[in-house]
Structure 1
Amino acid sequence: MIPRTDPRTESDQVGARHGWPQALVTVLAALFAMAVTATLGLWAAGATGLPDGAFPRVVAATVVTAVGGTVELSGNAGSLADTSAGLDVIPLSVTLVGALVLGAGFLRPLRHRAVASTRELAGWAGGLLALWLLVLIGVSLVARQTFSLSLGDSQLGDIGEELGASPKIGFETDMPLTLLFGVLWAAGVLVLALLVSRGAPLPPKLLRFQESVRPAAYAMVGLLLAYVALGVVIGVVVAVTRGHAAETFAVVLLGLPNLVWLAFTLGLGVTWNGQVEGPFGLPMPHVLDEVLRGPDVSSLNVRTLADQDGRVWWLVVLAAVLLLVAAFVLAARSPRQTRAWQHAMHMAVALALTVLMICLLGRITAHFGLSVLGIGDLGGDLGGELSLLPELWSALGLALLWGLVTGFLGALLARPVRRRGDMP
């Protein structure tokens, strides 16, 4: 006699695998990973020397910006002076680490399942997002500080000291926007994790979409991680062979995806417009700073970079090779009946969405200015400006073109590979 399984018992066991304790562990693990990455990166950048014990608060602000939150800068130099400051940049190394840990924690209790109900997935994701919201509130409250800036041994510094116009700059979190974008970021991570994983269950009504979406999502995530892996190898080699190890590891731990994904778009032919002026600068590679530094906005693409270093043309070769590999992976993981032109369309749409994400997350704007008694200019020697913005529509057009070509070629290369008839 075959024993019968009580469906309520099975349901209870499923719920036990991803209840509130598991959700809390997942959220805290993601926060811990992001905080450690930010701490090490800021330590390598020399931020431990900030006054008034501000280092932990700067770490908290870095985590806030990493999830799309907003940190507002403010300046105050008394009634005889004026200050202006602003910063809009996402430390994508911290973002990526948090996304990988959060996504892995979300998928872990769902392994070895073919199908899951919408209610079950929504409940599990909702618990994670609720705890993540509470964590964001706590981090946002910590991420605030005010610094006093030294003008140095200059005439302006002496005047400012005599008149009590010592400049100060501070930061604090815009709580509503941080909570909104932080939760949207976490929700996006969970959705992407479901799309990328072959073993994660989907509700029955969504199973028909996985044949076209999951292979493309997997291929794009693999492509982005391949660039990051190459960047880590290059960073280690540069640190060992050329010195400046602390500066190099600061870039790797805080903004490596910012650089390597920028290099990916440049390899596709995308143009970014930017300007570097004053004390600001792009830490590495220095060729970026050489192209962008000046009083006017400059165009950053493979042609302008090649004027400084001809090896930049290898970015085009690298992009072509890795895109072809991604297209092959997409075709090899797709159902056998999918035609070559369909692979090309899937690749084009996926690549366009990927480039759109890079363009939205990779843009940078920063400025700082100080004027005391009219001496100094908010955009002059006592200030600085840094900007890097993509030409979005041409970037998307190039992504679609590259996707169509490599998607079709990848489908032809994958024909000898035995592909699955059905996706689990």
Structure 2
Amino acid sequence: MARYARGSGDGSTGRIPWGDVVLAAIASVSWAMAGMAGTAALGLHLLGADSAGALGPMTAAVVVLGAGGSVSPSGSVSAFGLDDAEAHTALAVTPLGVGLVGALLLSFFFLRSLRGVGAVVSGAELAFRAGAVAVMFVAVLGGLAWAGHDVVTIDGGALELDGVPGAGGSGGLPGGLGDPVGLLPDRLADLVRAQAQVGFTVNSPKSLAGGACWVLGVLVIALLASRRTPLPSGLAGLDRTVRPAASAVVSVLLVAVVAGCAAAAYAAVGDAHPKRIVGAALLGAPNGAWLGVPLGLFVPWDGQATGELAKVLPDPLDELLRVSADEPVTVGRLAGLDGRVWLLAVAAAVTMLYAGVLAATRAPRGELTGAGFVGRCAVRLGGVTASALALLVWLTQVSANASLSVLGLDALGAGIELHGRTGTAALLGAVWGAGAGGVGAAVAWLAGAVPSGAGPAGGDSGGSGGPGPYTPSRVYRPPHDETNPYLRPYPDPARDGIHGAPTVVGPIGPPVRPAVPPPGPGPGPGDVEGLPPPGRPPGAG
């Protein structure tokens, strides 16, 4: 392993530790890929997809989809007693459950490797570490793209897909994405109700480009949301400006996913197919949760649903898209069909307020007054929420179309289109973030939960402002020269008459030895004044 010297300890000098860089990249990518593959394989198995084809290629394809890749299914379908029927399908949906597991593991090990660098990391070392992780991740993704192709034989009657939770609007995941199984090849059996051979293959160029963007995006978000990871000296200001708000938004989004998984587990308890609900939650719980957050914050969505694919949407979204696809999907329109939808708006508002309080408890107030601190938190959380809400809308869009053409005639058509308005999401995110940031900062200020420090060098000010490796403890009294021994002037012997230690006065000479009488008879009574005669004790008369 390479050894190097960091010089002043700020990461600005010294050679790049290539051994540490490579080992950290291997560990980060290995754990991320293992987690994504395990989640995808378990989800597919619980959904029963492995009964129609090989689990390995399907797992590779779903992992590529979860990392921003692209998969194209196609094949020949035998239906209505006719052969040579051609099925055309197009899918654009990301299994965010697989992607989220990989993002969390990749971020954890990457950030952990940076924390051993020191209080500050050089920009060159940070770039090399991130680049090594990205290159290795894309290389592994290329291997999965090569393996992610197969032909699946499907029997629609054997799969009994009519009982899949969420079909016909009877249930599914909360938040608007009932059954995310639509990304899998076996959903085609539910469309044609017949024997089918469906092939799928990974689009390697698009998948590699998407994977590179995905891994770099994950690393950037991880650095912005981590409050304890060192940054280059030029980016030290992010510790006080962006990181408190970014960490709060990421925390509440993860809480929303946990709530979605809990709702799926509750639905699986009383369902006839609990394994399929759990499998769908593993693959698509973040899809439903993160679609519900912008929808609850009044972000409009445009969409339509036709044919059998409309059955995978939960009620009342499927009914709304069937009735009118010209008007946008909003909370108000959904609440007109089911008044319980207003609870989604209440939950989204409470989530934003929680983000505001959390961001305020992580942002040092410095020398600001209460009004200044509230305004600053409002502006910062508004900017972060605008970016986060636009990203969620882009990630959770759904596009799935299938058609069965026989001799040039359209015999069956089905499709789902659901896209949020990114610009409106950014604008509403700024408004909601500013409001929640201001209210949350006021609550935290009145509760005395705002840290008083000027901000950590490495990022974490903590909720209570306690001392730590990057947050020194508060000074209890001002320093004085009289009480600080390191601030006392060195004494001048010529001026002060002291030498060495301050407790010794004057020059220090050799020790004085007592006089020793010469050998021979002792002195007489009159020889030495004050000494008694020999042989008589002192004081004798």
Superposed, 1:214-293 pairs within 5 Å as: 214-281=243-310, 283=312, 285-293=314-322
Q: Name the amino acid aligned to 2:31.
A: A
Kindly indicate whether the alpha-carbon contact (under 8 Å) linking 2:76 and 2:84 is maintained by their aligned counterparts in 1.
no
Deviations 1:324-356 (A, max 9, x none): 111111122112136322211111111111111
2:109 pairs with 1:105: yes
CA distance in 1, matches of 2:122, 2:340: 52
Q: 1:360 pairs with 394, 397, 400, which one?
A: 394
What does residue 161 of structure 1 align with?
Answer: none
Q: Deviations over 1:164-197 (max 9, x none)?
A: xx96532222211211110111111111111111
8 Å Cα contact 2:24-2:110 kept in structure 1: no
Alignment partner of 1:129 is 2:150: no
1:83–1:167 contact (8 Å) kept in structure 2: no
Following TM superposition, by how much is the alpha carbon of 1:309 offset from its aligned partner in structure 2, in angstroms?
2.4
Q: Say which of 403, 407, 411 aligns to 1:373.
A: 407
Alignment of 1:6-405 (within 5 A): 7=6, 15=17, 18-51=20-53, 53=54, 55-76=55-76, 81-111=85-115, 113-147=118-152, 168-281=197-310, 283=312, 285-293=314-322, 296=325, 299-336=328-365, 337=368, 339-374=373-408, 376-377=410-411, 382-405=412-435
SS across alignment from 2:228: coil
- Alpha-carbon distance in 2 for matches of 1:249, 1:31: 21
| Distance change in 2, residues 1:396/1:32 (3 Å) | same
**Distance apart, 1:14 and its partner CA:** 8.6
Query: Over the residues paired in the alignment, what is the CA RMSD in angstroms?
Result: 2.7
Aligned to 2:450: 418
Task: Tell whether the 8 Å contact from 1:251 to 1:283 is kept in structure 2 after alignment.
Answer: no
Assess if the C-alpha contact under 8 Å between 1:73 and 1:169 holds in 2: yes
Q: Which runs of 5+ in 1 are unaligned?
A: 153-165
What is the identity, as a one-letter code, of the residue corresponding to 1:93? G
Q: Tell me, in whole angstroms, the C-alpha distance in 2 between the residues paired with 1:7 and 1:246.
A: 53
What is the deviation of 1:269?
0.9
Deviation at 1:288, TM superposition (A): 2.8
Please list the CA deviations of residues 207-258 of structure 1 after superposition, one character each: whole Å capped at 9, or x if unmatched: 1233111111101101111101111211111111344312321221011111
Give 1:72 shift. 2.0
Partner SS state of residue 323, structure 1: helix
CA distance in 2: counterparts of 1:284 and 1:276, whole angstroms: 9
Give 1:71 deviation, angstroms: 1.2
CA–CA separation in structure 1 for the residues paired with 2:319 and 2:202: 33
Aligned pair in 2 of structure 1 residues 7, 148: CA closer, same or farther (>3 Å)?
closer
Change (3 A) 1:308 1:362: same
Instruction: Give the superposition deviation at 1:408.
Output: 1.3
Give the partner amino acid of 1:122: A
* Contact 2:130 2:219 (C-alpha < 8 Å) held by counterparts: yes
Q: Deviations over 1:272-319 (max 9, x none)?
A: 122222222464644333332358456322222223322211111111
Residue 67 of structure 2 aligns with an amino acid whose one-letter code is: V
Check the 8 A contact 1:107/1:200 in 2, yes or no: yes
Which is greater in Rg? 2
Extract unaligned runs of 5+ from structure 2.
158-194, 458-541
Structure 1 residues 283 and 149, CA gap change in structure 2 (3 angstroms) = closer
- Partner of 1:162 in structure 2? none
- Taking the aligned partners of 1:299 and 1:243, their CA distance within structure 2 comes to 34
Structure 1 residues 308 and 348: CA distance shift in structure 2, 3 A: same
Aligned with 1:339: secondary structure? Answer: helix
SS for the counterpart of 1:273 is strand
CA distance in 2, matches of 1:241, 1:183: 42
Aligned pairs, how many?
A: 401
Q: Distance in 1 between matches of 2:90 and 2:395?
A: 17
Residues 359 and 28 of structure 1, relative CA distance in 2, 3 Å threshold: same
- Write the distance in 2 (CA, Å) between the matches of 1:84 and 1:7: 59
Shift of 1:29: 0.9
Partner secondary structure for residue 198 of structure 1: coil
Query: Please, which moves more after superposition, 72-81 or 368-377?
Result: 72-81
SS in 2 for 1:383: strand
Identity %: 36
Return the TM-score normalized by structure 2. Answer: 0.69
